[in-house]
């Protein structure tokens, strides 16, 4: 109930724009709402559909270093782009098998993200994830690794999953390796007491009471 501009369906992602305004991506309403830094509603755009600037399954957004905004529509296998004034400008589509997700700002207006990937060697097909950057086509400009973070300076840190070692590699926005750190992963079995301590009794009625008390107290 109330002003529809302040009533949300499912806020699935949010980001600060360069001028301090806030962009909220509402996956249920297929809409991006823009608020001032103080939380005042300014305007919204987007709608359900498969036309220009429309979404079927928007999952995240990212603000790029050139001021543009991009939205990942997972179901439509595309990235939608809006210019610095938040007018729809273009899209990259036909990603196979899916568009980059976990998207972040890359370098010179590019998008860094993870993408499912497969390749063939003889009769065997290998599936996995690849980390790359995309700018003007559905083919990656660069391929890095997996499990990553992108701080404000544009460098990329990757930490591949491994049962043998802890590993961190840093790349420049251009793809050059900056450093590589590794430490052995030593498995230490938990004691029966430690395993037992991780369990907790569950009573739905008690759990509901805790939630209600927290709401009232807060």
| pLDDT one-digit tens code per residue, 188-200 | 877 888 877 766 5
Clarify whether residues 131 and 151 are in a common domain: no
Which among 68-82, 94-108, 168-182 has the top mean pLDDT? 68-82
Higher pLDDT, 179 or 190: 179
Q: Report residue 1 as tokens.
A: 């109930």
Question: What's the confidence (pLDDT) of residue 207?
Answer: 44
How far apart (Å, rounded) are the C-alpha atoms in residues 164 and 40?
50
Clarify whether residues 91 and 184 are in a common domain: no
Residue 77: which residues within 8 A CB-CB, separation 6 or more?
A: 93, 94, 95, 96, 98, 99
For residue 11, pLDDT beyond 80: yes
Length of the chain: 218
Residue 44: which residues within 8 A CB-CB, separation 6 or more?
A: 5, 31, 32, 33, 34
How far apart (Å, rounded) are the C-alpha atoms in residues 132 and 135?
10
Question: What's the confidence (pLDDT) of residue 109?
Answer: 86
Clarify whether residues 113 and 174 are in a common domain: no
How far apart (Å, rounded) are the C-alpha atoms in residues 93 and 76?
8
What 3-state DSSP class applies to 24? strand
86, 109, 136 - which closes a domain: 136
85, 107, 136 - which closes a domain: 136
Clarify whether residues 201 and 127 are in a common domain: no
Of the listed ranges 106-120, 154-168, 178-192, the one predicted with least confidence: 154-168
Average pLDDT score over the chain: 83
Torsion of CA 80, 69, 138, 152, to 10 degrees: -160
Question: What's the confidence (pLDDT) of residue 55?
Answer: 93
Query: How many domains in the chain?
Result: 2
Question: What's the confidence (pLDDT) of residue 173?
Answer: 78
136, 155, 177 - which closes a domain: 136
Confidence of residue 25 (pLDDT cuts 50, 70, 90): very high
Clarify whether residues 107 and 25 are in a common domain: yes
For residue 13, pLDDT beyond 70: yes
Clarify whether residues 83 and 172 are in a common domain: no
Question: What's the confidence (pLDDT) of residue 151?
Answer: 60
Q: What is the pTM of this model?
A: 0.68
Question: What's the confidence (pLDDT) of residue 196?
Answer: 76
Specify whether the CB–CB gap between 124 and 135 falls below 8 A.
Answer: no
Clarify whether residues 130 and 150 are in a common domain: no
Clarify whether residues 32 and 117 are in a common domain: yes
Clarify whether residues 92 and 154 are in a common domain: no
What 3-state DSSP class applies to 108? coil
How far apart (Å, rounded) are the C-alpha atoms in residues 20 and 36?
7
Clarify whether residues 128 and 35 are in a common domain: yes
% pLDDT > 90, the chain: 46
Fill in the DSSP letter of residue 30.
T
Question: What's the confidence (pLDDT) of residue 216?
Answer: 46
Which among 43-47, 126-130, 206-210 has the top mean pLDDT? 43-47
Clarify whether residues 107 and 181 are in a common domain: no
Question: What's the confidence (pLDDT) of residue 23?
Answer: 96
Range of the domain at 204: 144-218
pLDDT digits (tens, 9 = 90+) for 92-125: 999 988 999 989 988 888 999 988 877 777 777 7
Clarify whether residues 214 and 154 are in a common domain: yes
Numbers of helices and strands, H then E, in the chain:
2, 18
């Amino acid at each position: 109930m109330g002003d529809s501009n302040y009533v949300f369906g499912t806020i699935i992602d949010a980001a600060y724009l360069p001028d301090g305004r806030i962009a909220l991506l509402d996956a249920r309403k297929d809409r991006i709402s823009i608020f001032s830094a103080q939380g005042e509603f300014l305007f919204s755009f987007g709608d359900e559909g498969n036309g220009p600037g429309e979404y079927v399954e928007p999952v995240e957004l990212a603000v790029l270093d050139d001021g543009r905004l991009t939205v990942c529509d997972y179901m439509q296998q595309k990235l939608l782009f809006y210019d610095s004034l938040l007018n729809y400008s273009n899209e990259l589509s036909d990603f196979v098998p899916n568009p980059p997700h976990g998207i972040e700002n890359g370098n010179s207006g590019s998008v860094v993200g993870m993408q499912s990937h497969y390749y063939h060697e003889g009769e065997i097909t290998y599936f996995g994830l690849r980390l790359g950057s995309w700018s003007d086509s559905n083919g990656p400009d660069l391929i890095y690794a997996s499990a990553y973070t992108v701080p404000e300076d544009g460098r990329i840190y990757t930490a591949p999953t491994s049962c043998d070692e802890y590993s961190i590699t840093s790349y420049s926005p251009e793809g050059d390796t900056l450093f590589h750190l590794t430490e052995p992963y030593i498995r230490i079995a938990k004691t029966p007491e430690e395993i037992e301590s991780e369990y907790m009794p569950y009573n739905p009625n008690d759990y509901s009471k805790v939630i209600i008390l927290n709401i009232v107290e807060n």
